[in-house]
Structure 1
Amino acid sequence: MSPDTARLEAPSFRAGDVRRLSRHVGEVRVPKVGWIRFRWSRAVPDGVKSYRVTRDRAGRWHVAFAAIPDPVPAPGTGEVVGVDRGVAVSAASSTGEMLNAPGLRDTEKARLRRLLRKLARARRGSNRRAKVKAAIARLKARESDRRKDWVEKVSTDLAQRFDVIAVEDLQIRAMTRSARGTVEAPGRNVRAKAGLNRGILAAGWGGLVRRLEDKAPGRVVRVNPAYTSQRCSACGIVDREARESQARYRCRSCGYACNAEVNAARNIERAAGHVVSAREGPRVAGPVHREPQRDLLLVG
Structure 2
Amino acid sequence: MQQKLARQQKHSANRRKTIAAMWRLKRREADRRGDFAAQVANQLATRHSAVVLEDLTITNMTASAKGTLAEPGSNVVQKAGLNRAILGKGWYRFEQALTNVARYTGCRIVKVPAACTSQTCSRCGSVDPVSRESQAVYRCTSCGYSANADVNAAKNILAAGRAVTACGDLGTGRSVKQEPLTVAQTARNPRLSSGGEDVN
Cα distance in 1, alignment partners of residues 131 and 18 from structure 2: 47
Question: Which moves more between the two structures, 162-171 or 240-249?
Answer: 240-249
Tell me which protein shows more helix as a share of its residues: 2
**How far off its partner does 1:278 sit?**
6.2
Look up the equivalent residue of 2:186 and give its one-letter code: G
Is residue 160 of structure 1 aligned with residue 46 of structure 2? yes
Q: Deviations over 1:33-77 (max 9, x none)?
A: xxxxxxxxxxxxxxxxxxxxxxxxxxxxxxxxxxxxxxxxxxxxx
**How far off its partner does 1:277 sit?**
6.1
Look up the equivalent residue of 2:81 and give its one-letter code: G
SS of match in other structure, 1:258: strand
Please tell me whether the aligned partners of residues 186 and 193 of structure 2 are also in contact (alpha carbons under 8 angstroms).
Answer: no
SS of match in other structure, 1:286: helix
Look up the equivalent residue of 2:148 and give its one-letter code: N
For 1:264, the equivalent position in structure 2 comes to 153
Cα distance in 2, alignment partners of residues 146 and 231 from structure 1: 35
Is residue 212 of structure 1 aligned with residue 82 of structure 2? no
1:179 to 65, 69, 85: 65
For 1:286, the equivalent position in structure 2 comes to 186
Look up the equivalent residue of 1:128 and give its one-letter code: N
Question: Which moves more between the two structures, 202-211 or 276-285?
Answer: 276-285
| CA distance 1:232–1:278, shift in 2 (3 Å) | farther
Tell me which protein shows more strand as a share of its residues: 1
Cα distance in 2, alignment partners of residues 151 and 144 from structure 1: 11
Cα distance in 1, alignment partners of residues 130 and 161 from structure 2: 25
Cα distance in 2, alignment partners of residues 120 and 183 from structure 1: 28
SS of match in other structure, 1:184: coil
Look up the equivalent residue of 2:131 and give its one-letter code: A
Cα distance in 2, alignment partners of residues 124 and 241 from structure 1: 53
| CA distance 1:149–1:258, shift in 2 (3 Å) | same
Cα distance in 2, alignment partners of residues 276 and 207 from structure 1: 27
Misfit runs of 4+, over 6 Å: none
For 1:203, the equivalent position in structure 2 comes to 89
Please tell me whether the aligned partners of residues 118 and 153 of structure 2 are also in contact (alpha carbons under 8 angstroms).
Answer: yes
**How far off its partner does 1:168 sit?**
1.3
Look up the equivalent residue of 2:91 and give its one-letter code: W
**How far off its partner does 1:289 sit?**
5.9
For 2:139, the equivalent position in structure 1 comes to 250
2:76 to 190, 197, 204: 190
**How far off its partner does 1:238 sit?**
1.3
SS of match in other structure, 2:53: strand
Cα root mean square deviation, aligned: 2.5
SS of match in other structure, 1:148: helix
**How far off its partner does 1:215 sit?**
1.0
Aligned pairs for 1:134-149 within 5 A: 134-149=20-35
Aligned pairs for 1:23-62 within 5 A: none
Is residue 130 of structure 1 aligned with residue 1 of structure 2? no
For 1:46, the equivalent position in structure 2 comes to none
Q: Which structure would you say has the larger RCO, counting Cα contacts within 8 Å and 6 or more residues apart?
A: 1
Look up the equivalent residue of 2:130 and give its one-letter code: E
| CA distance 1:141–1:246, shift in 2 (3 Å) | same
Is residue 227 of structure 1 aligned with residue 110 of structure 2? no
Look up the equivalent residue of 1:286 and give its one-letter code: T
Number of residues of Structure 1 aligned to a counterpart in Structure 2: 177
**How far off its partner does 1:290 sit?**
7.8
Question: Which moves more between the two structures, 269-278 or 256-265?
Answer: 269-278
Q: TM-score, normalising length from structure 1? A: 0.53
Q: Deviations over 1:85-130 (max 9, x none)?
A: xxxxxxxxxxxxxxxxxxxxxxxxxxxxxx1122233333222221
For 1:55, the equivalent position in structure 2 comes to none
SS of match in other structure, 1:228: coil
Q: TM-score, normalising length from structure 2? A: 0.78
